[in-house]
């Protein structure tokens, strides 16, 4: 078995007296692509935010390659560089060009050489088909293009694990595909990924493991083959039925 990249033990998160995460245990290994699905409000987005310490947790621990991640800790910026995260809303810096958006953190945080970083950024932009947009401002891009830039901006930090928080949920339908294709390619490169999504067909195609959450707990886990054809729990069954009804 390959190395454990991310380990969660008994993670509990409360907000306004409500329990959002109720004892999450989870291990993600090197090169694994895990997809979290579940109904709205089940805590899946909060889980990603806790892993990046954007939310403090009340109990349990989160380890990145054995090192604990805690909100407010001194070493947080250096740990966060190893975690790449892309959000649902387009969160590019509106006052900077695409190139500046991508190179800001490598230059200011990692203190890397400007020219080297710009060359790498240009290569990555070419890989996601946005070579001609380097000098554009975010407002000149479509939603799908912005999300691809956000992915590049995260990749250039050379993270150990990639977190995707419903990155296609705010996109127009015709732009979903271009973003998912980029993610599929990352999976084929053997990246370690943890994805929250509502795109069931995509989850089935990309995942090594499906994690089904409901009410702040992991209810069921399995390979896509198992989960989508023979879900073990009633709740997973009901959840999947809702999607089938649509089609």
Partner 1 sequence: MNPEIIGQYLPLYGEAAILTVELGFLGVLFSAVVGLFCAAVLYLRVPILRQIVWIYIELSRNTPLLIQLFFIYYGLPKVGIRTTPAVCGVAGLTFLGGSYMAEAFRSGLEAVPKIQEESALSLGMTKAQAIRLVILPQAFSVSVPALVANVIFLLKETSVFSAVSLMDLMFTAKNLIGLYYDTTEALFLLVVFYLIILLPVGVLGTVLEKRVRYAGFGS
The residues binding partner 1 (CB under 8 A) are 52, 54, 77-78, 80-81, 83-85, 87, 89-95, 104-105, 108-110, 137-139, 146, 150, 153-154, 157
Half-sphere exposure for 12 (CA within 13 Å, toward CB): 10
Q: 43: closest CA among 31, 29, 26? A: 26
Here the tokens at position 142 are 């479509």
Which of 34/141 has CB closer to partner 1? 141
CB of 243 to partner 1, least distance (A): 28
Separation CA 152–CA 86 (nearest Å):
10
Which of 76/184 has CB closer to partner 1? 76
Q: Can you tell me whether residue 236 is helix, strand or coil?
A: helix
CB of 44 to partner 1, least distance (A): 17
Which of 171/236 has CB closer to partner 1? 171
Q: 83: closest CA among 49, 39, 131? A: 49
Which of 122/157 has CB closer to partner 1? 157
CB of 74 to partner 1, least distance (A): 10
CB of 242 to partner 1, least distance (A): 29
CB of 64 to partner 1, least distance (A): 13
Which of 105/168 has CB closer to partner 1? 105
What order of strands is seen across the sheet that includes strand 59-64? 18-29, 4-15, 59-64, 67-68
Which of 78/233 has CB closer to partner 1? 78
Compute CA distances 115 → 49, 112, 122, 156, whole Å: 32, 9, 11, 13
With a CB cutoff of 8 Å and minimum separation 6, the contacts of 17 are none
CB of 125 to partner 1, least distance (A): 17
């Amino acid at each position: 078995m390959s190395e454990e990249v991310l380990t969660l033990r008994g993670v509990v998160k409360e907000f306004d007296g409500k329990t959002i995460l109720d004892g999450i245990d989870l291990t993600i290994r090197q090169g694994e692509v895990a997809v979290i699905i579940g109904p709205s409000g089940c805590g899946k987005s909060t889980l990603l935010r806790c892993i990046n310490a954007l939310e403090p947790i009340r109990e349990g621990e989160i380890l990145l390659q054995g090192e604990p991640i805690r909100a407010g800790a001194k070493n947080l910026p250096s740990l966060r560089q190893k975690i790449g995260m892309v959000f649902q809303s387009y969160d590019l810096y509106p006052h900077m060009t695409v190139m500046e958006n991508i190179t800001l953190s490598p230059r200011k945080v990692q203190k890397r050489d400007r020219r080297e970083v710009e060359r790498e950024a240009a290569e990555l932009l070419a890989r996601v088909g946005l070579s001609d947009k380097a000098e554009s401002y975010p407002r000149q891009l479509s939603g799908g293009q912005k999300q691809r830039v956000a992915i590049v901006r995260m990749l250039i930090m050379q993270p150990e694990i990639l977190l995707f928080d419903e990155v296609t949920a705010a996109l127009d339908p015709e732009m979903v595909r271009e973003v998912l294709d980029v993610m599929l390619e990352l999976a084929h490169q053997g990246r370690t990924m943890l994805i929250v999504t509502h795109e069931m067909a995509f989850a089935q195609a990309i995942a090594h493991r499906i994690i089904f959450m409901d009410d702040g707990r992991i209810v069921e886990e399995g390979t896509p083959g198992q989960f989508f054809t023979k879900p073990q729990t009633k709740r997973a069954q009901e959840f999947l039925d809702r999607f089938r009804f649509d089609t």
